Amino acid sequence: MKNRLRVLRAEENWSQAELGMRVGVTRQAINAIENGKYDPGLPLAMKIARVFEKKVDDIFTLEDDD
Amino acid sequence: MSDKEQDTGLRALKRTTLVITAWAASYAVAMQILKHHATSAWVRGGAVALAVCGFLLWMAGTAKAIRRENEFTRQIHLVALACAMAVSVIFIFVCDLLQRAGFIDYVSLMTIFLVMTGAWLLAIMLASLYYR
């Protein structure tokens, strides 16, 4: 799964820790998501979408091999 | 770190310390009873029950602590448990074969338990490092 988390976070000028705090996870979790090591579950994906005021689809995109 | 997170972390640390202390105390008392007052089957049975209760308390406390974590941390614990399980099964399987082949003597259950626990802790560290 691809995501635009790093870009959106940069636009808001938030650190990984700050975004993590806003959605209730650690900085490591945000880093793992950004690097594609971890795909968030639906609740976390929705929380992330909410803080960026976007739809989940606008942030996370399924790839062919998913 | 916010005050709320710090409070939550401190509470979790207190709970963890409490259940580990309870487990260690129950185990130590049970061992003392089994060592020095091992005449009555009821007393020995009580000592075993005490140690098992202490262990169950620790397990429940640990499970509760993991359930309180966010989904990412739970994922790390899930991966770590799977790795620890795999290492334990391999260890038991290899030990069994080595025993049958006559290369090693009896491996105590406590050794297996320690290997499982060690593998679990190591797996938590490695999984955390992987996702860092």
Complex ipTM value: 0.74
Any B CB within 8 A of A37 CB: yes
Nearest chain B Cα distance for residue A20, angstroms: 11
Q: If you measure CA to CA, which chain A residue comes closest to B132?
A: A28
Of the candidates B68, B48, B59, the one whose C-alpha atom is nearest the C-alpha of residue B22 is B59
Nearest-CA distance from A46 to chain B in Å? 13
Q: What is the pLDDT of residues A17-39, one digit of tens each?
A: 999 999 999 899 999 999 988 99
Q: Select the residue of A24, A31, A38 nearest B75 (Cβ to Cβ).
A: A38
| Greatest Cα pair distance in chain B | 59
| Cα–Cα distance measured from residue B125 to residue B65, given in angstroms and rounded to the nearest whole number | 17
- Distance (Å, whole) CA A18 – CA A14: 6
pTM (2 d.p.) = 0.77
Predicted local confidence at residue A63, as pLDDT = 83
Question: Could you report the per-residue pLDDT of B38-91, keeping only the tens digit for each?
Answer: 778 888 999 999 999 999 999 998 898 888 888 888 999 999 999 999 999 999
